[in-house]
Amino acid sequence: MHENNEEDAPLKTITPQKLVHYHMTLGVDDKLDTLFSFLKSHTKQKVLVFMASIKQVRFTYLAFKSLKLSTSGNLFELHGKMHQNKRTAIYYQFLEKKQAVLFSTDIAARGLDFPAVDWVVQLDCPEDVPTYIHRVGRTARYKAKGNALLFLLQSE
């Protein structure tokens, strides 16, 4: 992982000051393995993972659930094909947990307050800077510290 440095100052001025940015460059075939390893090593934290599509969210949620990433019911998914009542229930369940993982599309990038999220992980590079900013804005809220991890392909 690489931490942002002073050359990346524009992001520091438009994202929370207590947010630390990291990125990893890897092959497409390594993304899920790396994500699984990352989440396994951060089980005592609250992590929000953004993915580009509903299919990715569903697949990853079901795969990681079957691989027993979390045995205590701390694994959640959130996407636009869910009914609003179910999305709301999952949102509140995630809020109540001190340690949890939420796989989500950009449905959770704006308009939802996620206090106490330790990490925002972006499995896919966002389309533009505003999308990146909205996603990472789910952590380092108010005076809290937070971390953002962006997975990149060599071509990005």
Fold of domain 2-152: Rossmann fold (3.40.50)
Asked if residues 1 and 149 have their Cβ atoms less than 8 Å apart, the reply is yes
Please tell me the pTM assigned to this model: 0.85
pLDDT band at 111 (very low <50, low <70, confident <90, very high): confident
Render pLDDT for 63-104 as a digit per residue (tens, 0 to 9).
999 998 876 789 999 999 999 999 999 999 999 999 999 999
pLDDT band at 109 (very low <50, low <70, confident <90, very high): confident
The whole-number pLDDT of residue 1 equals: 58
The whole-number pLDDT of residue 3 equals: 52
Render pLDDT for 4-60 as a digit per residue (tens, 0 to 9).
544 444 444 567 778 889 999 999 999 999 999 999 999 999 999 999 999 999 999
**Domain ranges (residues) in the chain:** 2-152
